[in-house]
Chains A and B, each alone.
Chain A
Amino acid sequence: MREISARQITETVRRLCMEACYYLPDDVKKRIEECRREEPFPIACGILDKIIENYRIAGENSVPICQDTGMACVFLEIGQDVHINGDIEEAVNAGVASGYKDGYLRKSVVSDPIERVNSGDNTPAMIYYELVPGDRLTITVAPKGFGSENMSQLKMLKPADGIEGVKDFVLKVAEDAGPNPCPPIIMGVGIGGTFDKAALMAKKALLRPLDEKNPDSFYAQLEDELLEKVNALGIGPQGFGGRTFCLKVNINHMATHIAGLPVAVNINCHVARHKTEVL
């Protein structure tokens, strides 16, 4: 049994919150720059240039890339042979509170969805726990902005809707979102499972590096096909027209019930922040 202290978790989460909000992951930068080179429409090129300039400024000055530093989504993969000294939920929330305060990140959480009074320290975090083999603890912090979260959708399709139904739904979500979620976007798609699992798969799909595909060749091809179709809509960066509306479609899939075909689409803007550390 390996011991990990709650304090170590707090310190790691604190640092990951700040780093995620200041420094865009390399795979996202690479993909934006690739799309810029391939973009044929002048207005769209100008916008992509500004987006590149923006993440450079943020990185050089250690300031938030986007003012919406999001709700802190924290994914914990806990090795079965790890023992945590202290309260893990409190440890994560303490890390979020101090990271958002000391890192000059925006506090964007209200304590109650109807009363809507700001919680003051960006807690609670949205925490996901997963037990895995081994004696390590993997922590991923993904600050999630709500401009794109608000444009996400889930639908319980019928089995008879099949693959065409899935494609139509993904295209509908893209069309409905249009300029609102700060395109270029990333689409995380969860297919199968239950209502909640589909949504979680979609969210986790946003964490997958943009230069990796679904390991199943059928779904890898579907990712490519959907990307092509979504970009053919012509919405473009910021919705001003162009090719680069979507940087990547990432699909996760799993088994489902004989009666159902759940499909969830979680959208992230180009500020696709996430940072991982293994303890």
Chain B
Amino acid sequence: MTVKITTPLTSEKARTLKAGDTVEITGVIYTSRDAAHKRFIEALDRGEKLPADFKDAVIYFAGPSPAKPGQPIGSVGPTTSYRMDPYSPRMIREAGLTGMIGKGRRSAEVVEAMKECGAVYFGAIGGCAALLAKCVKKAEVIAYDDLGAEALRRLEVEDLPVTVVIDSEGNDLYRLGREQYLESLK
């Protein structure tokens, strides 16, 4: 069964999602990756305001390819999330982030912050960037334009297909899915 959610994503709503759930996200989400995250943390260190309000927000770890004329965005699939592990706990605790979309494993520190604050980690299918781009209705750079593909973007998405990989209780589909498959062979 597919759960449909509309952003903003409150921690109450995030806590109802379970590892393995397929979810379609509609509403505003943000794309940012390595370089923008570094700047978020530098801004937090200086006590400055972040360039967007991430309270109850979802960040998609992605750097799109350039949009062709007439298209809102180029291809836009997830990038590997562990590179954001040094930054995500503070984005969750201090900026109020409740959702992350990416691919690949997360650190124990990230999962700890997710459990503490009620956040969820979604996986989008890595390499399915042309398909995922079809869900993006509007995209604009809202900060760090100098970073090119790595700039902070505000996206309006419709039914973006993702899977809950790690839920707010720390259940991990990478472990559970593999166990279930190996069990099915017995």
* Per-residue interface assignment for chain A, residues 142 to 163, with 1 indicating a CB less than 8 Å from any chain B CB and 0 otherwise: 0000010010000000000000
Judge whether B178 and A236 touch: CB under 8 Å: yes
Size of the chain A interface, CB-CB below 8 angstroms: 48
Size of the chain B interface, CB-CB below 8 angstroms: 45
In the assembled complex, B148 has its CB within 8 A of some CB on chain A = yes
* Interface pick from A36-44, A83-91, A164-172, A196-204: A36-44
Distance between B180 CB and nearest chain A CB, rounded to angstroms? 6
Judge whether B127 and A54 touch: CB under 8 Å: yes
In the assembled complex, A230 has its CB within 8 A of some CB on chain B = no
In the assembled complex, B79 has its CB within 8 A of some CB on chain A = yes
Judge whether A241 and B181 touch: CB under 8 Å: yes
Q: Which of A111-142 contact B (CB under 8 A)?
A: 116, 118, 120
In the assembled complex, B104 has its CB within 8 A of some CB on chain A = yes
Q: Which of B127-186 contact A (CB under 8 A)?
A: 127-131, 133-134, 147-150, 161, 163, 173-174, 176-182, 184-185
B79, B130, B163, B182 — most chain A CB neighbours (10 Å): B130
| Bound Cα distance from A91 to B108, whole angstroms | 47
Knowing A50-B125, A179-B105, A240-B174 touch, does A64 contact B181 (C-beta < 8 A)?
no
25 pairs from A and B in contact (CB 8 Å cutoff) = A41-B181, A54-B128, A54-B131, A63-B68, A63-B130, A64-B129, A66-B75, A67-B76, A68-B77, A106-B63, A116-B35, A147-B80, A178-B104, A179-B103, A180-B104, A180-B105, A234-B178, A235-B178, A236-B177, A238-B125, A239-B104, A240-B123, A241-B179, A269-B126, A269-B127
| Bound Cα distance from A105 to B181, whole angstroms | 37
A40, A57, A67, A181 — most chain B CB neighbours (10 Å): A67
| Bound Cα distance from A275 to B181, whole angstroms | 36
In the assembled complex, B67 has its CB within 8 A of some CB on chain A = yes
Contact of B75 among A40, A44, A58, A182 (CB under 8 A): A58
| Bound Cα distance from A40 to B182, whole angstroms | 11
Judge whether A67 and B62 touch: CB under 8 Å: yes
Knowing A54-B129, A54-B130, A180-B103 touch, does A239 contact B79 (C-beta < 8 A)?
no
Judge whether A67 and B129 touch: CB under 8 Å: yes
In the assembled complex, B7 has its CB within 8 A of some CB on chain A = no
Judge whether A67 and B64 touch: CB under 8 Å: yes
